[in-house]
Amino acid sequence: MWLPTGSFWTQPAGEAHVTAANGQHNVAYIEINSGPYLVQPTEQAYDNSERPVNVHPSNIVWLDSCSKDENGPSDIQIAYLWGDTAKGSLRGTMLKIPAGFEGVIRSNADQFRAVVIEGELDYNNQQDLKTLGAGSYFGSAGDFVHEISARPGQALTLYIRSDDTFDILAD
């Protein structure tokens, strides 16, 4: 199954799989939720009773975002991909951020990682401004405010792995 940009795929530990790419420019973000990550020969594959999940972007359920703050933008969408929403539990989400958005993502998570899936954003890392394209990431641990802006005319999709909630606030 060829998975285009914005797809989501899980592979259970121990299962045999093949990974291939058919585009001129490919990015795959791989995270291991528990280790060790050991690549074994196919003969050593095993069934741990989990099943792989392959989700095409057209099958991802996007919800309008909610914010505790009255400045929260209403045109950002969120998709819950995996994990538990309980505090301290890891979870994966995706955000669709409209072109021209300027604001912040506020997090108090011990683990917060955001990967650019589509589009480009300007990121102020509190030292200088950086442009981040597809495959780039930013992250933090603890109380942190990420200043971001999406390019005009170019929507942005982010994948976020965190162990706590986060708020998105428009300037």
Show me where the domains of the chain are located: 58-170
**For the chain (length 171 residues), average pLDDT per consecutive 10?**
81 79 76 69 87 87 68 76 85 94 94 94 89 94 95 93 92 85
Tell me how crowded residue 20 is: count the other CB atoms within 10 A of its CB.
6
**78: Cβ–Cβ under 8 A, 6 or more apart, which residues?**
62, 63, 64, 65, 93, 94, 95, 96
Give the pLDDT score at 74.
59
Superfamily of domain 58-170: Jelly Rolls (2.60.120.10)
Give the pLDDT score at 33.
66
- Its pTM stands at 0.84
Give the pLDDT score at 68.
46
Query: Token match 């589009």: residue?
Result: 119
Query: Token match 């121990």: residue?
Result: 14
Give the pLDDT score at 38.
67
